[in-house]
Amino acid sequence: MNCRSEVLEVSVEGRQVDEAMLALLHTILLHRSTGKFHYKKEGTYSIGTVGTQDVDCDFIDFTFVRVSSDELDRVIRKAVAEFKDALGNSGSDGMGQISLEFYQKKKSRWPFSDECIPWEVWSIKVNVVNLANEQERQICREKVGEKLGEKVINIVEVINRHEYLPKMPTQSEVDNVFDTSLKDVQPYLYKITFQITDSLGTSVSTTMRRLIKDTLAL
Amino acid sequence: MDSDLSPQDKKDLDKFIKFFALKTVQVIVQARLGEKISTCSSSSPTGSDWFNLAIKDIPEVTHEAKKALAGQLPGIGRSMCVEISLKTSEGDSMELETWCLEMNEKCDKDIKVSYTVYNRLSLLLKSLLAITRVTPAYKLSRKQGHDYVILYRIYFGDVQLTGLGEGFQTVRVGIVGTPIGTITLSCAYRTNLALMSSRQFERTGPIMGIIIDHFVERPFTNMAHMHPCSYRAPGEDEGGTYAGIEDSQEVCTTSFSTSPPSQLYSSRLSYQTPGLGTVDVCHPTACTAAAHPHQMVVPGKEGGVPQVPAQPTHGTAAEHGRIPSCPTGQSPQPAPPTSCSSEVKTVSPSDALETTFTRKVGAFVNKATTQNFQQPLLQSSVSHDASDNNVTTTSLDLPFAAFAPRAYDLEENDPMVHPPPSPAPSSPLQGSLHSNSSTHSVGQPQDDFVMVDFKPAFSKDDLLPMDLGTFYREFQNPPQLASLSIDVSAQSMAEDLDSLPEKLAIYEKNIDEFDAFVDTLQ
């Protein structure tokens, strides 16, 4: 099966990186999370309820909706913070990419480790700009807000094509499809990685691979 | 067609569509309440959360939605629409967006109703949650309050988009195929918010002068079917009244314009869309065209529409506004009140007093006497009752009407109405712009206009023995300051130039001192 890949590009000011990334990642995860599954004896299951929350950005004229799960929020914030630090420390001209990959696990026989098969990858390319004065920052606030709105519309458009989604798993296979570690919601298995582009614009001079959800650790 | 669908599936599908429609309305209206929405996730299913999403049900909204649906379901040719509009405290309204839940004929026979359709509807609701925060109306709704409120209206049937103005944009939230048709959810939103963005939605104080719609009748609201997007907790009255709008009828012109009310009026006219009923757009211009030549032009901050002399014109909606009465007759209007500058045109003395002469009485004026024409003719309309020659202040157009003098001389004795005959008309200009040439030597009053002294409102002449005009004239040419005056015995320029080399030599000698001084500055 082919992995669906979508690329979003944004140009933001340094202090807007966090919120812009959170906005887009949470919007995607909102659509890729369900309530907790409760399997019943007859092989059926019921699904818990997903709550939502509005989040106002401080540095961008924008409000986004995220799943009401503090645990998930913490995980995403941590990843974004690491990405931002990497952007700051790299000495590059502020270009990088953060990727949210949804995958399925396929059990392999020993001694081979389980395979991770991505079925959807969202790449968010970030270009950090420096602004000279407060007026430019104010304009940037509004412009980035509008841009993020457009990106949300793009995300929604892609998701509503209703292309491949993993089949609903049985109880024994639920961990191959969903991340069941959170107590209130259940997103599809995902991992967040990022890479910083060096100033020459070549892809990946330093690749920093961080596995936020490392279920492969052996 | 439907025959392929099992009865259970058909029943489920209808139920899903019905509750999807109700939840859609809830999401849209709640997103326009002006507050951040927050609901909790729950790992154990409660059984009452449709589509596995925690979306609160506001009873009022559900009631309205069910009323609009009237037992039907959105289907092919039967769309359910939620219209969001903005209404200002002055009664102006503007449609901002229309959300449409439609169905087309494209069927997906193979899809599983109870599972796939349900999950996709859930996904569509999540998309709706995200998109409702992205359209321009969201930001407006977060700032609603005193100046304007956001209203919603639910209707069923054909989609109406004409109220959105030109160049409206459409965003598709998503589609879900079902065995009986494809459900589409989209939003058409107004882009021409330029009118709104130029107004700051701030309160500005009224300028001095007459506020046009100060005494206007209550603006007619043909939006009785609109509902405010304001949630009142259950237990309160669930009537769909305009919470808060009734209270804000006080005309603070200020709604959202930094321009003075004259500008607000003219800009409000451009605000009206054709769909909003009959707007008497030409009203001020008609008055202007037919107006008296002594019209006052009130300059606004942006050079606005000339106004009829501060007659309160009609307010918001034309059909219930008050028709301004253009001043009839040849009543001259010399120096205006302090707040406005004016171009006062005068008529030639040959214009006879053939037409009805309307005595104008302004607020704060004293009764006219035959000798001393000191009252400025401010703008107001006082109508005569011809039969008994009593002049009464019938119109309520006059602010502070209670202060206007009530007892008047009979018309025959009123020098304003019947000025004493003048032998020779003097320059028309004399009486108007320079009426303050002297307080007392007004001279012979003219047939056509009366010389009066400019007496600014609120000025007292007991402290200073002169009025503003006299003061200004006297101090117009003050003597020069002594320190700035040039001594006559000072050297001429040639001598100045000659002394330069000497001065330079001295400075060069002291160059070290200068350098030390500069160092201390650094």
Looking at the complex, does the CB of residue A57 fall below 8 Å from at least one CB of chain B?
no
Task: Please state the rounded mean pLDDT for residues A85-108.
Answer: 85
Chain A: closest CA distance from residue B114 (Å): 13
**Which residue did the predictor score with more confidence, B73 or B372?**
B73
pLDDT at B480: 77
Cα angle, residue B9 at apex, residues B8 and B10 outer, rounded to 5°: 90
pLDDT at B110: 82
Is B45–A156 a contact, with Cβ atoms under 8 angstroms apart?
no
Residue B49 has its nearest CB partner, among A49, A56, A184, at: A49
| Residue B180 in this model has a pLDDT that exceeds 80 | yes
Query: What is the ipTM, given to two decimal places?
Result: 0.90
Max avg pLDDT among A103-107, A210-214, B109-113, B248-252: A103-107
**Which residue did the predictor score with more confidence, B456 or A161?**
A161
pLDDT at B266: 34
Is B133–A63 a contact, with Cβ atoms under 8 angstroms apart?
yes
Q: Which residues of A touch B49 (CB under 8 A)?
A: 49
Write out the two tokens for B373.
């024409």
Which amino acid is residue B485, in one-letter code? S
The answer to whether B248 and B219 have CB atoms below 8 angstroms apart is no
pLDDT at B448: 62
Band of residue B273 on the pLDDT scale cut at 50, 70, 90:
very low
Band of residue B511 on the pLDDT scale cut at 50, 70, 90:
very high
Q: Which residues of B206-221 are buried (b: 16+ CB within 10 A; e: fewer)?
A: ebebbbbbbbbeebee
Write out the two tokens for B360.
């104008």
- Integer Cα distance of A157 and B124 in angstroms: 10
Q: In this predicted model, what pLDDT tens digit does every residue of A11-61 receive, in sequence order?
A: 999 899 999 999 999 999 999 999 998 888 777 888 899 999 999 999 999
Task: Please state the rounded mean pLDDT for residues B143-156.
Answer: 90
| Residue B352 in this model has a pLDDT that exceeds 70 | no
Q: In terms of DSSP bridges, do strands B169-178 and B181-189 run parallel, antiparallel, or are they unpaired?
A: antiparallel
Looking at the complex, does the CB of residue B123 fall below 8 Å from at least one CB of chain A?
yes
pLDDT at A164: 85
Looking at the complex, does the CB of residue A162 fall below 8 Å from at least one CB of chain B?
yes
- Integer Cα distance of B496 and B491 in angstroms: 6
For the purposes of burial, counting CB atoms within 10 Å of the CB of A53, is it exposed (0-12), middle (13-18) or buried (19 or more)?
Answer: buried
| Residue B141 in this model has a pLDDT that exceeds 90 | yes
Task: Please state the rounded mean pLDDT for residues B466-481.
Answer: 78
Q: In this predicted model, what pLDDT tens digit does every residue of B376-390 receive, in sequence order?
A: 333 333 334 444 444
Looking at the complex, does the CB of residue B133 fall below 8 Å from at least one CB of chain A?
yes
Residue A52 has its nearest CB partner, among B46, B129, B138, at: B129
Task: Please state the rounded mean pLDDT for residues B462-471.
Answer: 69
**Which residue did the predictor score with more confidence, B144 or B467?**
B144
Looking at the complex, does the CB of residue B34 fall below 8 Å from at least one CB of chain A?
no
Looking at the complex, does the CB of residue B142 fall below 8 Å from at least one CB of chain A?
yes
The answer to whether B302 and B263 have CB atoms below 8 angstroms apart is yes
| Residue B78 in this model has a pLDDT that exceeds 50 | yes
pLDDT at B482: 74
Write out the two tokens for A21.
């990334």
pLDDT at B82: 94
**Percent of chain B at pLDDT exceeding 70:** 45
Write out the two tokens for A99.
């990727």
Task: Please state the rounded mean pLDDT for residues B423-442.
Answer: 42
Looking at the complex, does the CB of residue B78 fall below 8 Å from at least one CB of chain A?
no
- Integer Cα distance of B158 and B168 in angstroms: 18
Worst-scoring range by mean pLDDT, A106-115, B52-61, B394-403? Answer: B394-403
Band of residue B128 on the pLDDT scale cut at 50, 70, 90:
very high
pLDDT at B241: 38
Worst-scoring range by mean pLDDT, B129-133, B231-235, B412-416? Answer: B231-235
CATH 1.10.10 assigned to domain A4-204? The reply is no
Worst-scoring range by mean pLDDT, A183-192, B128-137, B316-325? Answer: B316-325
Band of residue B35 on the pLDDT scale cut at 50, 70, 90:
very high
pLDDT at A188: 95
| Residue A100 in this model has a pLDDT that exceeds 50 | yes
CA-CA-CA-CA torsion sign (A9, A13, A14, A19): negative
Mutate to test the interface with B, among A151, A162, A165, A174 (most CBs of B within 10 A): A162
Band of residue A150 on the pLDDT scale cut at 50, 70, 90:
very high
**Which residue did the predictor score with more confidence, B369 or A39?**
A39
| Residue A146 in this model has a pLDDT that exceeds 90 | yes
Is B171–A152 a contact, with Cβ atoms under 8 angstroms apart?
no
Band of residue B151 on the pLDDT scale cut at 50, 70, 90:
very high
Q: Is residue B286 helix, strand or coil? A: helix
Q: Which residues of B touch A155 (CB under 8 A)?
A: 130
Ordered by start, the domain boundaries in chain A are 4-204
pLDDT at B322: 38
Q: In terms of DSSP bridges, do strands A95-106 and A115-129 run parallel, antiparallel, or are they unpaired?
A: antiparallel
- Integer Cα distance of A116 and B361 in angstroms: 90
Closest Cα to residue B94, out of B83, B105, B102?
B83
| Residue A10 in this model has a pLDDT that exceeds 60 | yes
Angle between helices B7-31 and B59-69 (to 10 degrees): 130
Looking at the complex, does the CB of residue A113 fall below 8 Å from at least one CB of chain B?
no
pLDDT at B25: 95
Residue A65 has its nearest CB partner, among B46, B133, B174, at: B133
Band of residue B492 on the pLDDT scale cut at 50, 70, 90:
low
Looking at the complex, does the CB of residue B410 fall below 8 Å from at least one CB of chain A?
no
Looking at the complex, does the CB of residue B127 fall below 8 Å from at least one CB of chain A?
yes
| Residue A115 in this model has a pLDDT that exceeds 80 | yes
Tally C-beta pairs within 8 A across A and B.
115
Looking at the complex, does the CB of residue B455 fall below 8 Å from at least one CB of chain A?
no
Is A185–B41 a contact, with Cβ atoms under 8 angstroms apart?
yes
pLDDT at B522: 82
Q: Which residues of A touch B126 (CB under 8 A)?
A: 30-31, 52
| Residue A138 in this model has a pLDDT that exceeds 70 | yes
Question: Under 8 Å CB-to-CB from B505, ≥6 apart: which residues?
Answer: none
Max avg pLDDT among A47-61, A155-169, B286-300, B305-319: A47-61
pLDDT at B161: 86
**Which residue did the predictor score with more confidence, A50 or B348?**
A50
pLDDT mean across residues, chain B: 64
Residue A50 has its nearest CB partner, among B53, B133, B173, at: B53
Chain B: closest CA distance from residue A216 (Å): 26
pLDDT at A211: 53
Chain A: closest CA distance from residue B142 (Å): 10
Is B42–A46 a contact, with Cβ atoms under 8 angstroms apart?
no
For the purposes of burial, counting CB atoms within 10 Å of the CB of B153, is it exposed (0-12), middle (13-18) or buried (19 or more)?
Answer: middle
The answer to whether B380 and B363 have CB atoms below 8 angstroms apart is yes
pLDDT at A16: 92
Is A50–B130 a contact, with Cβ atoms under 8 angstroms apart?
no
Residue A35 has its nearest CB partner, among B36, B38, B45, at: B45
Chain A: closest CA distance from residue B131 (Å): 7
**Percent of chain B at pLDDT exceeding 90:** 23
Chain A: closest CA distance from residue B258 (Å): 21
Q: Which residues of B touch A53 (CB under 8 A)?
A: 36-39
Is B36–A54 a contact, with Cβ atoms under 8 angstroms apart?
yes
The answer to whether B129 and A68 have CB atoms below 8 angstroms apart is no
